[in-house]
Homo-oligomer: A and B are copies of this chain.
Amino acid sequence: MKIVETISAIREEVRKLKAEGRSIGLVPTMGFLHEGHLSLIEAARAKHDVVVVSIFVNPLQFGPNEDFERYPRDLDRDERLARNSGVDILFCPPVEEMYPGETAMTIHVTKGVDVLCGASRPGHFDGVATVVMKLFQLTAPDEAFFGQKDAQQVAVIINMVRTFNVPVNIVSCPTVREEDGLAKSSRNVYLTEQERQEASFLYQALRKAAERAQAGEHDRERLLQYLTGLLEGGSGTIDYVEALSYPALERQEKLGGRIILAVAYHYTKARLIDNIIIELDREEA
Protein backbone atom coordinates (compact mmCIF):
# COMPACT_ATOMS: atom_id res chain seq x y z
CA MET A 1 0.00 0.00 0.00
CA LYS A 2 1.34 3.39 -1.00
CA ILE A 3 0.85 6.28 1.39
CA VAL A 4 0.54 9.55 -0.49
CA GLU A 5 0.37 12.96 1.17
CA THR A 6 0.85 15.55 -1.55
CA ILE A 7 -1.19 16.69 -4.52
CA SER A 8 1.73 16.34 -6.91
CA ALA A 9 2.34 12.75 -5.74
CA ILE A 10 -1.31 11.65 -6.06
CA ARG A 11 -1.50 13.21 -9.54
CA GLU A 12 1.58 11.25 -10.56
CA GLU A 13 0.15 7.97 -9.23
CA VAL A 14 -3.15 8.56 -11.00
CA ARG A 15 -1.41 9.52 -14.24
CA LYS A 16 0.51 6.23 -14.23
CA LEU A 17 -2.60 4.18 -13.46
CA LYS A 18 -4.58 5.88 -16.26
CA ALA A 19 -1.74 5.32 -18.73
CA GLU A 20 -1.87 1.62 -17.85
CA GLY A 21 -5.65 1.65 -18.41
CA ARG A 22 -6.41 0.55 -14.86
CA SER A 23 -9.76 1.33 -13.26
CA ILE A 24 -9.86 3.26 -9.98
CA GLY A 25 -12.37 2.95 -7.13
CA LEU A 26 -12.29 5.76 -4.57
CA VAL A 27 -13.50 5.55 -0.96
CA PRO A 28 -13.45 9.09 0.52
CA THR A 29 -13.35 9.10 4.34
CA MET A 30 -12.56 11.33 7.30
CA GLY A 31 -10.55 8.47 8.81
CA PHE A 32 -11.15 6.66 12.12
CA LEU A 33 -12.16 3.74 9.94
CA HIS A 34 -14.86 1.33 11.07
CA GLU A 35 -16.77 -1.60 9.59
CA GLY A 36 -18.87 0.75 7.48
CA HIS A 37 -15.76 2.05 5.72
CA LEU A 38 -14.36 -1.46 5.35
CA SER A 39 -17.54 -2.58 3.57
CA LEU A 40 -17.06 0.31 1.12
CA ILE A 41 -13.44 -0.72 0.54
CA GLU A 42 -14.59 -4.29 -0.10
CA ALA A 43 -17.19 -3.09 -2.61
CA ALA A 44 -14.52 -1.00 -4.39
CA ARG A 45 -12.07 -3.92 -4.47
CA ALA A 46 -14.66 -6.20 -6.02
CA LYS A 47 -15.12 -3.86 -8.99
CA HIS A 48 -11.81 -2.06 -9.60
CA ASP A 49 -8.16 -2.73 -10.36
CA VAL A 50 -7.01 -0.16 -7.84
CA VAL A 51 -8.62 1.07 -4.61
CA VAL A 52 -7.78 4.55 -3.36
CA VAL A 53 -8.90 5.51 0.15
CA SER A 54 -8.68 9.17 1.10
CA ILE A 55 -8.47 10.26 4.73
CA PHE A 56 -9.09 13.95 5.20
CA VAL A 57 -10.91 15.68 8.05
CA ASN A 58 -12.32 18.56 6.01
CA PRO A 59 -12.44 21.82 7.99
CA LEU A 60 -14.81 23.36 5.40
CA GLN A 61 -17.70 21.10 6.38
CA PHE A 62 -17.54 21.85 10.12
CA GLY A 63 -19.55 24.78 11.48
CA PRO A 64 -17.94 27.31 13.85
CA ASN A 65 -19.51 25.52 16.87
CA GLU A 66 -18.78 22.02 15.63
CA ASP A 67 -15.99 19.69 16.65
CA PHE A 68 -13.32 19.96 13.93
CA GLU A 69 -10.49 20.06 16.44
CA ARG A 70 -11.92 17.26 18.59
CA TYR A 71 -12.92 15.01 15.68
CA PRO A 72 -11.31 11.60 16.42
CA ARG A 73 -8.13 10.82 14.48
CA ASP A 74 -5.93 7.69 14.57
CA LEU A 75 -3.87 7.52 11.40
CA ASP A 76 -1.67 4.61 12.57
CA ARG A 77 -4.71 2.42 13.16
CA ASP A 78 -6.30 3.60 9.89
CA GLU A 79 -3.13 2.68 7.97
CA ARG A 80 -3.14 -0.82 9.47
CA LEU A 81 -6.82 -1.36 8.72
CA ALA A 82 -6.47 -0.04 5.17
CA ARG A 83 -3.42 -2.23 4.51
CA ASN A 84 -5.22 -5.31 5.84
CA SER A 85 -8.23 -4.53 3.65
CA GLY A 86 -6.20 -4.54 0.45
CA VAL A 87 -6.18 -0.79 -0.18
CA ASP A 88 -3.64 0.15 -2.88
CA ILE A 89 -3.23 3.87 -2.21
CA LEU A 90 -3.94 5.75 1.01
CA PHE A 91 -4.23 9.48 0.25
CA CYS A 92 -4.00 11.49 3.46
CA PRO A 93 -3.03 15.09 2.66
CA PRO A 94 -2.48 17.70 5.40
CA VAL A 95 -4.93 20.63 5.51
CA GLU A 96 -2.37 23.06 4.01
CA GLU A 97 -2.08 20.82 0.97
CA MET A 98 -5.82 20.82 0.30
CA TYR A 99 -6.44 24.46 1.27
CA PRO A 100 -3.16 26.31 0.64
CA GLY A 101 -4.67 29.80 0.73
CA GLU A 102 -7.83 31.71 1.39
CA THR A 103 -10.75 30.04 -0.40
CA ALA A 104 -11.65 31.97 -3.57
CA MET A 105 -14.87 30.00 -4.21
CA THR A 106 -16.93 27.07 -3.02
CA ILE A 107 -19.67 24.91 -4.39
CA HIS A 108 -22.91 26.37 -3.06
CA VAL A 109 -25.68 23.78 -2.77
CA THR A 110 -29.13 25.33 -3.21
CA LYS A 111 -31.39 22.28 -3.31
CA GLY A 112 -31.92 19.43 -0.86
CA VAL A 113 -30.02 21.06 2.01
CA ASP A 114 -32.76 22.75 4.05
CA VAL A 115 -34.11 19.34 5.11
CA LEU A 116 -32.91 16.38 7.21
CA CYS A 117 -29.53 16.99 8.88
CA GLY A 118 -28.81 19.96 6.56
CA ALA A 119 -31.53 22.03 8.24
CA SER A 120 -29.41 22.38 11.38
CA ARG A 121 -26.02 22.57 9.62
CA PRO A 122 -26.00 25.57 7.25
CA GLY A 123 -23.06 25.42 4.85
CA HIS A 124 -22.16 21.85 5.82
CA PHE A 125 -22.97 20.37 2.41
CA ASP A 126 -21.21 23.24 0.61
CA GLY A 127 -18.08 22.02 2.38
CA VAL A 128 -18.81 18.38 1.57
CA ALA A 129 -19.46 19.07 -2.13
CA THR A 130 -16.35 21.24 -2.41
CA VAL A 131 -13.94 18.72 -0.88
CA VAL A 132 -15.43 15.77 -2.77
CA MET A 133 -15.09 17.71 -6.03
CA LYS A 134 -11.42 18.28 -5.17
CA LEU A 135 -10.89 14.60 -4.34
CA PHE A 136 -12.57 13.54 -7.61
CA GLN A 137 -10.36 15.90 -9.63
CA LEU A 138 -7.24 14.64 -7.85
CA THR A 139 -7.91 10.89 -8.01
CA ALA A 140 -10.03 10.67 -11.22
CA PRO A 141 -11.91 7.58 -10.03
CA ASP A 142 -14.19 5.57 -12.30
CA GLU A 143 -16.45 5.06 -9.30
CA ALA A 144 -16.66 6.47 -5.78
CA PHE A 145 -18.20 4.56 -2.88
CA PHE A 146 -20.33 6.10 -0.12
CA GLY A 147 -22.47 4.65 2.66
CA GLN A 148 -26.23 4.99 2.38
CA LYS A 149 -26.27 5.73 6.11
CA ASP A 150 -25.32 9.30 5.21
CA ALA A 151 -28.09 9.43 2.62
CA GLN A 152 -28.24 13.21 2.35
CA GLN A 153 -24.50 13.33 1.68
CA VAL A 154 -24.89 10.71 -1.05
CA ALA A 155 -27.79 12.69 -2.54
CA VAL A 156 -25.76 15.91 -2.60
CA ILE A 157 -22.85 14.14 -4.26
CA ILE A 158 -25.09 12.48 -6.87
CA ASN A 159 -26.53 15.93 -7.59
CA MET A 160 -23.04 17.44 -7.75
CA VAL A 161 -21.82 14.89 -10.25
CA ARG A 162 -24.91 15.52 -12.41
CA THR A 163 -24.74 19.32 -12.10
CA PHE A 164 -21.09 19.55 -13.13
CA ASN A 165 -21.00 16.50 -15.44
CA VAL A 166 -18.18 14.97 -13.40
CA PRO A 167 -17.29 11.65 -15.05
CA VAL A 168 -17.53 9.58 -11.86
CA ASN A 169 -20.17 6.96 -11.06
CA ILE A 170 -21.47 7.20 -7.49
CA VAL A 171 -22.10 3.90 -5.71
CA SER A 172 -24.27 4.02 -2.61
CA CYS A 173 -23.55 0.98 -0.41
CA PRO A 174 -26.08 -0.51 2.04
CA THR A 175 -25.85 0.56 5.66
CA VAL A 176 -23.93 -1.96 7.77
CA ARG A 177 -26.06 -3.04 10.76
CA GLU A 178 -25.72 -4.85 14.07
CA GLU A 179 -27.55 -8.18 14.36
CA ASP A 180 -30.63 -6.50 15.80
CA GLY A 181 -30.74 -3.98 12.94
CA LEU A 182 -29.15 -0.92 14.58
CA ALA A 183 -27.05 0.97 12.04
CA LYS A 184 -23.34 0.76 12.90
CA SER A 185 -21.89 4.08 13.96
CA SER A 186 -18.91 5.29 15.95
CA ARG A 187 -21.48 7.11 18.07
CA ASN A 188 -23.18 3.90 19.30
CA VAL A 189 -20.56 3.63 22.05
CA TYR A 190 -22.11 6.72 23.66
CA LEU A 191 -25.40 4.84 24.27
CA THR A 192 -26.28 3.58 27.76
CA GLU A 193 -26.94 -0.14 28.02
CA GLN A 194 -30.69 0.43 28.14
CA GLU A 195 -30.56 2.84 25.17
CA ARG A 196 -28.50 0.33 23.18
CA GLN A 197 -31.11 -2.37 23.81
CA GLU A 198 -33.88 -0.06 22.71
CA ALA A 199 -32.13 1.63 19.77
CA SER A 200 -32.85 -1.00 17.13
CA PHE A 201 -36.48 0.15 17.25
CA LEU A 202 -35.49 3.05 14.95
CA TYR A 203 -34.80 0.67 12.10
CA GLN A 204 -37.84 -1.47 12.94
CA ALA A 205 -40.01 1.66 12.80
CA LEU A 206 -38.52 2.70 9.44
CA ARG A 207 -39.24 -0.80 8.06
CA LYS A 208 -42.82 -0.75 9.28
CA ALA A 209 -43.39 2.69 7.76
CA ALA A 210 -41.79 1.50 4.50
CA GLU A 211 -44.12 -1.50 4.43
CA ARG A 212 -47.13 0.72 5.04
CA ALA A 213 -46.04 3.05 2.21
CA GLN A 214 -45.53 0.12 -0.13
CA ALA A 215 -48.96 -1.22 0.86
CA GLY A 216 -50.46 2.00 -0.49
CA GLU A 217 -50.11 4.80 2.09
CA HIS A 218 -48.70 7.54 -0.14
CA ASP A 219 -49.94 10.51 1.91
CA ARG A 220 -46.78 12.05 3.35
CA GLU A 221 -48.41 13.60 6.43
CA ARG A 222 -50.21 10.40 7.44
CA LEU A 223 -47.11 8.26 6.90
CA LEU A 224 -44.99 10.59 9.04
CA GLN A 225 -47.67 10.57 11.76
CA TYR A 226 -47.54 6.76 11.72
CA LEU A 227 -43.73 6.79 11.94
CA THR A 228 -43.88 9.33 14.77
CA GLY A 229 -46.31 7.10 16.62
CA LEU A 230 -44.02 4.10 16.28
CA LEU A 231 -41.16 6.07 17.85
CA GLU A 232 -43.26 7.64 20.60
CA GLY A 233 -42.56 4.90 23.15
CA GLY A 234 -38.76 5.34 23.12
CA SER A 235 -36.76 6.84 25.98
CA GLY A 236 -35.12 9.50 23.77
CA THR A 237 -36.60 12.32 21.69
CA ILE A 238 -37.28 12.62 17.98
CA ASP A 239 -35.13 15.21 16.17
CA TYR A 240 -36.93 14.68 12.86
CA VAL A 241 -38.86 12.13 10.84
CA GLU A 242 -39.01 12.79 7.12
CA ALA A 243 -40.16 11.36 3.77
CA LEU A 244 -38.67 12.93 0.62
CA SER A 245 -38.00 12.19 -3.03
CA TYR A 246 -34.53 10.73 -3.55
CA PRO A 247 -31.97 11.97 -4.50
CA ALA A 248 -33.66 15.35 -5.16
CA LEU A 249 -34.81 15.49 -1.48
CA GLU A 250 -38.00 17.35 -2.33
CA ARG A 251 -41.23 17.31 -0.36
CA GLN A 252 -44.23 15.76 -2.10
CA GLU A 253 -47.66 15.62 -0.48
CA LYS A 254 -48.34 12.42 -2.45
CA LEU A 255 -45.28 10.18 -2.27
CA GLY A 256 -44.23 8.42 -5.48
CA GLY A 257 -41.08 7.16 -7.23
CA ARG A 258 -37.87 6.76 -5.24
CA ILE A 259 -38.41 7.88 -1.65
CA ILE A 260 -36.22 8.17 1.43
CA LEU A 261 -37.72 7.62 4.88
CA ALA A 262 -35.38 9.08 7.47
CA VAL A 263 -35.16 9.59 11.20
CA ALA A 264 -32.84 11.41 13.60
CA TYR A 265 -33.22 10.58 17.26
CA HIS A 266 -31.62 12.05 20.39
CA TYR A 267 -30.42 9.83 23.23
CA THR A 268 -28.67 11.20 26.31
CA LYS A 269 -25.22 11.46 24.71
CA ALA A 270 -25.74 10.37 21.12
CA ARG A 271 -27.79 11.53 18.18
CA LEU A 272 -28.56 8.57 15.91
CA ILE A 273 -29.64 8.74 12.25
CA ASP A 274 -31.02 6.03 10.01
CA ASN A 275 -32.94 5.76 6.75
CA ILE A 276 -34.53 3.44 4.21
CA ILE A 277 -34.86 4.10 0.48
CA ILE A 278 -37.86 2.54 -1.28
CA GLU A 279 -39.58 2.64 -4.66
CA LEU A 280 -43.26 3.55 -4.71
CA ASP A 281 -45.67 3.49 -7.66
CA ARG A 282 -46.54 6.95 -8.90
CA GLU A 283 -50.25 7.59 -8.54
CA GLU A 284 -52.24 9.24 -11.29
CA ALA A 285 -53.22 12.78 -10.36
Residues of A within 8 A of B (CB): 7, 11, 19, 21, 102-112, 126, 129-130, 133-134, 137-138, 140, 156, 159-160, 162-167, 248
Count chain B CB atoms within 10 A of each CB in A104, A107, A166 and give the residue with the most: A104
Contact B165 A138 (CB under 8 A): yes
B111 contacts A108, C-beta separation under 8 Å:
no
Say yes or no: B108 contacts A107, CB within 8 Å: yes
Given contact pairs A105-B107, A105-B110, A137 touches B159 in the complex (Cβ within 8 A): no
- Can you name the residue of chain B whose Cβ is closest to the Cβ of A106? B108
Which residues from chain B contact A108 at a C-beta distance below 8 Å?
105-108, 126
Asked whether, in the complex, the Cβ of A104 is within 8 Å of the Cβ of B165, the reply is: no
Give the oligomeric copy count.
Answer: 2
B111 adjacent to A137 (CB under 8 Å): no
List B contacts of A133 (CB < 8 A): 164
- Whether A102 and B106, one on each chain, are in contact in the complex, defined by CB atoms closer than 8 angstroms, is no
Provided the pairs A164-B130, A166-B137 are in contact, do residues A112 and B107 lie with their beta carbons within 8 angstroms? no
A111 touches B107 (CB 8 A): no
Contacts of A248 in B (CB 8 A): 104
Nearest chain B CB to A93's CB is how many angstroms away? Answer: 10
Q: What's the nearest-Cβ distance from chain B to residue A252, in Å?
A: 15
A-B contact pairs, 27 of them (CB 8 A): A19-B21, A102-B111, A103-B110, A103-B111, A104-B110, A104-B111, A104-B112, A104-B160, A104-B163, A105-B108, A105-B111, A105-B129, A105-B156, A105-B159, A105-B160, A106-B107, A106-B110, A106-B163, A107-B107, A108-B108, A108-B126, A130-B163, A133-B164, A134-B164, A137-B164, A137-B165, A137-B167
Cα A107 to Cα B104 with chains together (Å): 10
Closest 7 pairs between A and B when the two form their complex, measured CB to CB: A108-B108, A104-B111, A104-B159, A105-B109, A137-B165, A134-B165, A138-B165
> Could you tell me if A7 and B160 are in contact, using CB atoms closer than 8 angstroms?
no
Cα(A110)–Cα(B164), bound, Å: 19
Of residues A19, A106, A126, A164, which shows the largest number of chain B Cβ atoms within 10 Å of its Cβ?
A164
Chain B residues, Cβ within 8 Å of A129: 105
**For A110, what are the chain B residues with a Cβ–Cβ distance below 8 Å?**
103-106
Q: Max chain B CB contacts within 10 Å: which of A105, A110, A156?
A: A105
- Closest approach, in angstroms, between the C-beta of A58 and any C-beta of chain B? 14
Q: How far is the CA of A156 from the CA of B104 in the complex (A)?
A: 9
Whole-angstrom distance between the alpha carbons of A108 and B134 in the complex?
Answer: 15
Query: CA of A129 to CA of B105 in the docked complex: distance in angstroms?
Result: 9
